[in-house]
Amino acid sequence: MSRRLRDTARAYLFVSPWLISLAVFTAYPMLASFYFSLTRYTVIQPPAWIGLENFQVMFSKDELFWLATWNTLYYTVVSVPLQMLVALLLATLLNHSTRGIGFYRTAFYLPSLVPAVVTTLLWMLILDPRAGLANAALEALGLPKLGWMHSATWSKPSLILISLWVGVGQPMLIFLAGLKDTPQSLLEAATIDGANRWQRYWRVVIPLLTPTIFFNLLITLIASFQVFTTAFIATATATGATAAGPLNSMLVYMVHLYRQGFRYSSMGYASAMAVVLFLALVLLTLLVVRSSRGWVHYEGAPPR
Amino acid sequence: MNLRRWTEPVLSHLLLIAVALLFLIPLWWLLITSIKPLDQILTIPPIWWPPSPQWQNYVDTLTSPAFPFWQLMGNTLFYCVVSTIGTVVSSAVVAYAFARMRFVGRDLLFAITLATLLLPGVVTLIPTYVLFQRMGLVGTYAPLIVPYFFASAFNIFLLRQFMLTIPVELSDAAHVDGAGDFRVLWQIILPLVKPALIVVAIFNFIYAWNDFLGPLLYLDDSSRYPFSIGLYAFRSRFALQWNLITAAALTITAPLIAAFFALQRYFIEGVTLTGVKG
């Protein structure tokens, strides 16, 4: 018994950095976020309890909150499935071709290494509404030029385009590794049973990949709801305009939160926004996990 | 049948090449803009290679007081190197306990660790800032670096998975010879998980190099800026000088691309591990 106690004590010495981190950088800030959300807090003065006022203001008075929520939903709902689909398509194509795989892999992955500041500035140049490369291409194709980030309609698609350039490489590599792990024996068995290639792909390869798809989907979703740097830089114009893009069309949730907390020092309100996003993401995670029982196939699990 | 055997790979390669070009052209544009004179940047039709490349742009940018290159480099390297050492060492020690030691509450603690992988960073952002502010550390690198010395869920997970693949007999034998846990970790386990340590180090280094929100929140004095914020500040001074902005941008991106080509194996392995084993 005392041996076990000694072992445990020693092990806790080893995990102590992580325990401290969990307490100081995770548990405490989480609880404090909930507490601050119920206060008026400007950092200069101690938090003053105001009950649910922040939430009332948020839901009924702050129109920008709803706009930011809409912008973020729009961005996420389009960008995440696109990222997953393009990554899966590219991985599937690469899985069948051995020639040049190194080149393609590098080409698709390199953008995800580029610092977000560089990515955003580079795309602001490419998407320049007067004579950027994107509009030059549209004009060469005989299509009308677009306003991109200078248009309320096209600014969110612009952000989504950037997210694709940056966000496809990583899941593509992960899917590719998953595809390469498909057991040859299963594919052969399916062939013997008369399955054609299409059927083998949809009935064998994809179901085996669903755990990987599920994991990537979850991580990308959570990250996408918290998109910040691209929108922040794209909207922090040199002229000092207060709107985040034309008609605030690029005011995503985190940019609104950042402005409330760090520009207007409304830490209480920003915390309330953080709590709302956190609860929404927990709910979403639970929903995705729950839905996964229907579509994620784990090897060794009984068929349903 | 024969036709299909031919057309399919050809079509597949055509599609792949088209997409690869879409991914690479922006990077080419970054390079090419940085050596153009100002009047050749926003043109229709676009200029793919300037008639007389203007390498002087790099001299102008790197000697500009608005982009104090060596200072930015020093700050960035400081942030990257110290945080990387911090997280590699602390995560390895914690991972060892999860992989090799028996203790009460281990499985629960590990489950909590995995759960925090999904924790949205937004919910800890503000109180963490307030905490460092009360300690008078806003404006220094402490808020950016200190957390790295207390391990991270992701790195613990990755290193633990690696350590579990090492035969227990190896560490058992060392224990029998009287080696303590620290020695087993240092002399037996760490050398065997070197590839994983390198993966963790690379990804952490790049994360810190690219970090924007952290320095934006915590650093106010421009003499402490790393590259990310330095470029952002440079751009607000030279809003329309795209050739200089891209020269600065490429300067801070090139080391990452070079690192990728030098350490490609670890990159691919690292990304793959993070996804498949998760």
Q: Read out DSSP for A266-283? A: -HHHHHHHHHHHHHHHHH
Instruction: Report the pLDDT value the prediction gives residue A237, as an integer from 0 to 100.
Output: 62
pLDDT classification of B175: cutoffs 50, 70, 90: confident
Domain made up of A58-295: CATH architecture? Orthogonal Bundle (1.10)
Q: Are B166 and B192 in contact (CB under 8 A)?
A: yes
Structure tokens at A217: 């989907």
pLDDT digits (tens, 9 = 90+) for B96-111: 999 999 899 999 999 9
Q: Which residues of A touch B25 (CB under 8 A)?
A: 133
Q: Count CB atoms within 10 A of the CB of residue A108.
A: 27
Q: Map residue A252 onto helix, strand or coil.
A: coil
Please choose, from the candidates B120, B263, B122, B111, the residue with its C-alpha nearest in 3D space to the C-alpha of residue B200. Answer: B263
Looking at the predicted structure, is the pLDDT value of residue B2 above 70?
no
Q: Are A10 and B101 in contact (CB under 8 A)?
A: yes
Which residues neighbour B24 within 8 Å (Cβ) at sequence distance 6 or greater?
A107, A110
Instruction: Report the pLDDT value the prediction gives residue A239, as an integer from 0 to 100.
Output: 46
A142: which strand partners? Answer: none
Which residues neighbour A72 within 8 Å (Cβ) at sequence distance 6 or greater?
A225, A227, A252, A253, A254
Question: How many angstroms away from the CA of B102 is the closest CA of chain A?
Answer: 7
Which residues neighbour A66 within 8 Å (Cβ) at sequence distance 6 or greater?
none
Instruction: Report the pLDDT value the prediction gives residue B202, as an integer from 0 to 100.
Output: 94
Instruction: Report the pLDDT value the prediction gives residue B275, as an integer from 0 to 100.
Output: 59
Between B80 and A10, whose confidence is greater? B80
Interface A–B counts its CB contacts (< 8 A) at 261
Q: Are A258 and A244 in contact (CB under 8 A)?
A: no
Q: Are B80 and B256 in contact (CB under 8 A)?
A: no
Q: Are B29 and B243 in contact (CB under 8 A)?
A: no
Looking at the predicted structure, is the pLDDT value of residue B277 above 50?
no
pLDDT classification of B179: cutoffs 50, 70, 90: confident
Instruction: Report the pLDDT value the prediction gives residue A7, as an integer from 0 to 100.
Output: 84
Compute CA distances B10 → A96, A200, B3, B15, B117, whole Å: 12, 22, 11, 9, 41
Between B209 and B4, whose confidence is greater? B209
- Mean pLDDT for chain B? 92
Cα(A217)–Cα(A205) distance, rounded to whole angstroms? 18
Q: Are A54 and B133 in contact (CB under 8 A)?
A: no
The structural domains of chain A, with segments of one domain joined by +, span 58-295
The answer to whether the CB atoms of A212 and B276 lie below 8 A apart is: yes
Give the count of alpha carbons within 13 A of A102, CB side only.
4
If 0-12 CB within 10 Å is exposed, 13-18 middle and 19+ buried, where does residue B25 land? middle
Please choose, from the candidates B70, B80, B110, the residue with its C-alpha nearest in 3D space to the C-alpha of residue B94. Answer: B110
Q: Which residues of B touch A254 (CB under 8 A)?
A: 122
Asked if B258 has any chain A CB less than 8 Å from its own CB, the reply is: no
B272: nearest CB among A29, A173, A275: A173
Please choose, from the candidates A211, A221, A25, the residue with its C-alpha nearest in 3D space to the C-alpha of residue B118. Answer: A221
The answer to whether the CB atoms of A113 and B256 lie below 8 A apart is: yes
Residue of B nearest to A208 (CA): B276
Kindly report each contact of residues A51-55 with a partner whose C-beta sits within 8 Å and lies 24 or more positions away, as own/partner.
A54/A268, A54/A269, A54/A271, A54/A272, A55/A272, A55/A276
Instruction: Report the pLDDT value the prediction gives residue B50, as an integer from 0 to 100.
Output: 94
Please choose, from the candidates B159, B152, B156, B169, the residue with its C-alpha nearest in 3D space to the C-alpha of residue B193. Answer: B159
Q: Are A266 and A42 in contact (CB under 8 A)?
A: yes
Q: Count CB atoms within 10 A of the CB of residue A116.
A: 19
Cα(B22)–Cα(B70) distance, rounded to whole angstroms? 33
Looking at the predicted structure, is the pLDDT value of residue B273 above 80?
no
Instruction: Report the pLDDT value the prediction gives residue B3, as an integer from 0 to 100.
Output: 67
pLDDT digits (tens, 9 = 90+) for B186-211: 999 999 999 999 999 999 999 999 99
pLDDT along chain A (304 residues), means of 10: 82 96 97 97 92 97 97 98 96 86 93 96 96 95 94 95 96 92 89 89 91 91 95 75 82 96 94 97 94 81 49
